[in-house]
A and B are shown apart, each in its own frame.
Chain A
Amino acid sequence: ETGVTQSPTHLIKTRGQQVTLRCSSQSGHNTVSWYQQALGQGPQFIFQYYREEENGRGNFPPRFSGLQFPNYSSELNVNALELDDSALYLCASSRGTEIYKTEAFFGQGTRLTVV
């Protein structure tokens, strides 16, 4: 059983550019959630995907968008990058959408730096 894998591990982008981050969910998991973790802070919920549809969104602007594919892997896209988007982006997969009934397994994250 493979764990949650994210790519790339590190990324440097210029303000105004666009970025795509990728996440492969753990085997048997059909739900993927994305979180943003700024340095020294706790993770903040961006959105969750279930069966290729968005199933809940946090307080993030529309330039943060996502996709989930039939194999349950997922992408996070961020347009018009801003300096404040610099953070660790975490992906979590789970077997079902209700985290209290199941367990969310987190990847090691992608460290995005916007310059």
Chain B
Amino acid sequence: GNSVTQMEGPVTLSEEAFLTINCTYTATGYPSLFWYVQYPGEGLQLLLKATKADDKGSNKGFEATYRKETTSFHLEKGSVQVSDSAVYFCALSNNAGNMLTFGGGTRLMVKP
């Protein structure tokens, strides 16, 4: 079955540091890949997505590239802010597109 593995947190960074959160997946077929973010006290929000190999998703300074050869979708940001502190989830959709499989989440804490 499909599965997503992401690096365990928490990840603690200073403001303006470079961020990488690793995500790898196992899936049959050609899944779409997603990053969701959960800010404290809020629901999950879509951060970015990529629907085919070599696509790059980007939003709010975050980006991730769909790498089929390494089955990865690592999240990066060049300069994090305190407001980026949240839990980040990597996810994929099945071939029918109706189901998301999530990783376990990575908590990011950014200190001023």
Contacts and interface: CB of A to CB of B under 8 A. Distances in A.
Nearest to A44: B102
Nearest to B99: A45
Given A100-B32, A100-B93, A109 B43 contact: yes
Interface in A89-112: 90, 92, 97-101, 103-109
The secondary-structure label for the interface of chain A is loop
Contacts of A58: 99
29 contacts: A4-B43, A33-B98, A33-B99, A35-B100, A40-B104, A40-B105, A41-B104, A42-B89, A42-B102, A43-B89, A45-B100, A45-B101, A48-B98, A55-B98, A90-B43, A98-B96, A98-B98, A99-B93, A99-B97, A99-B98, A100-B32, A100-B49, A100-B51, A100-B93, A106-B43, A106-B44, A107-B43, A108-B42, A109-B43
